[in-house]
Amino acid sequence: MADPRSLDQMFQRIMRALVETGRAPHYAELARAMRLTVEQGRQLLLDVMQAYPIGWLHPETDYIASFPPLNSLPTQYRVSVGGEQKWFAQCGFEATSVTWLFPGATVRIEAPCLDCGDPVVVEMRDGRLGTVDPPGIVGHLNYGFGASRGRPAFL
């Protein structure tokens, strides 16, 4: 496992790239920015993902698929900031954490209800709810959390 400072630097670069571009960087881009060889960058990425188990790589690759609260692959949880939609949240619950990546900005999350398909909209600024439509929406999980549930279906 890499040293904590290197792990933190790569974590920050990944998160900043997602915020700035809406997509996760490739490990070769990360390696260059950190003045590492490409192989050192790949290994450091693997170490970061091991240390941050709620994110994951696309199966059988070294491509970042999800780095919560944002997702590099499109999901139904569309995130807009300043009227620009270029981000996706990992899940409905993680979507509410996106607000902390954009201090002072209004973050709009739009998604279909996974039960009926009706539109759901939440707007937040600095962790505070603004718009909630429909009023009184709730979230639920279709399965339990933790290691006992087995391998996630998306991997």
pLDDT value at residue 155:
44
Measure the N-to-C terminal CA separation of the chain; round to a whole number of Å.
23
Q: Is residue 97 part of a domain?
A: yes
On whether both 50 and 11 belong to a single domain, the answer is: yes
Please give the Cα distance from 147 to 152 (Å, whole number).
Answer: 10
Q: Point out the least confidently predicted range of 18-22, 42-46, 85-89, 151-155.
A: 151-155
Residues 14, 43, single domain; the answer is yes
Which CATH number characterizes residue 111's domain?
3.15.10.60
- Whichever domain contains 40, its CATH number is 1.10.10
Residue 98 lies in a domain: yes
> Based on the structure, what is the number of domains in the chain?
2
| Any domain includes 149 | no
Cβ atoms of 34 and 41 closer than 8 Å: yes
3-state secondary structure the chain: CCCHHHHHHHHHHHHHHHHHHCCCCCHHHHHHHCCCCHHHHHHHHHHHHHHCCCCEECCCCCCEEEECCEECCCCCCEEEECCEEEEEECCHHHHCCHHHHCCCCEEEEEEECCCCCCEEEEEEECCEEEEEECCCCCCCCCCCCCHHHCCCCCC
Q: What percent of the chain has pLDDT over 70?
A: 90
Residues 47 and 89 grouped into a single domain: no
Query: What pLDDT score was predicted for residue 138?
Result: 79
pLDDT at residue 147 in the model: 59
Question: Would you say residue 72 lies in a domain?
Answer: no
141, part of any domain = no
One-letter amino acid at 91 equals: C
- 71 domain residue, yes or no: no
Domain residues for the domain of 34 are 4-58
The pTM score is: 0.86
Residues 49 and 82 in one domain: no
Mean pLDDT of the chain: 91
Q: What is the mean pLDDT of residues 18-43?
A: 97
| pLDDT surpassing 70 at residue 143 | no
Let me know whether 85 and 54 are in one domain: no
- pLDDT tens-digit readout, 61-115: 999 999 999 999 999 999 999 999 999 999 999 999 999 999 999 999 999 998 8
Calculate what percentage of the chain has a pLDDT beyond 90. Answer: 81
24: amino acid identity, one letter: A
Does 43 share its domain with 8?
A: yes
Q: At what angle do helices 4-21 and 38-51 cross, to 10 degrees?
A: 90
Cα–Cα distance measured from residue 144 to residue 147, given in angstroms and rounded to the nearest whole number: 9
Are 42 and 85 in a shared domain? no
